[in-house]
Amino acid sequence: MSQPAVTHSHDRYVTDLLRLYLDLPDTPTRARTADRVLARSLSDSQVPLEIVRAAFALTCARRLNRPTDAPPLGQIRSLHYFLPVIEELRRVDPDPSYIRHVQTLLMPSRSRLS
């Protein structure tokens, strides 16, 4: 009887994660199969959505905070682009106030990161 609730929660996680990803700047308009597979894997690994959201914010902030003379970055083509920062935040518990600060700085660019 509890299995449908677990599946629903799993499906909700994947849907929410992909929605957040696709709402980011420089990301595709549709999730690829590989993106869905990675989202399911993150759900299976019980990576908190807050960690993923924080990784999205930090990655976007790092992309925006580049030297002005650096070559422009291309489009982000895969959710896998964020995986190193997701793994970084899984190893090091991020300071929630710092993450909120970064998300606030990004608000004019993208309000859906928080």
Read off the pLDDT of residues 3-35 as tens digits, 9 standing for 90 and up.
444 556 989 999 999 999 999 989 999 999 999
Inform me whether the pLDDT recorded for 111 exceeds 50: no
Amino acid at 66: R
Q: What is the pTM of this model?
A: 0.82
For 44-95, write each residue's pLDDT tens digit.
999 999 999 999 999 999 998 889 999 999 999 999 999 999 999 999 988 8
Distance CA 110, CA 103 (A): 9
> Quick check: 110 and 23 in contact, CB under 8 A?
yes
> Quick check: 22 and 30 in contact, CB under 8 A?
yes
DSSP state of 73: P
Q: What pLDDT is attached to residue 7?
A: 59
For Cα atoms 15, 63, 54, give the angle at the middle one, nearest 5 degrees.
40
Count CA atoms closer than 13 A to 109's CA, side-chain side: 15
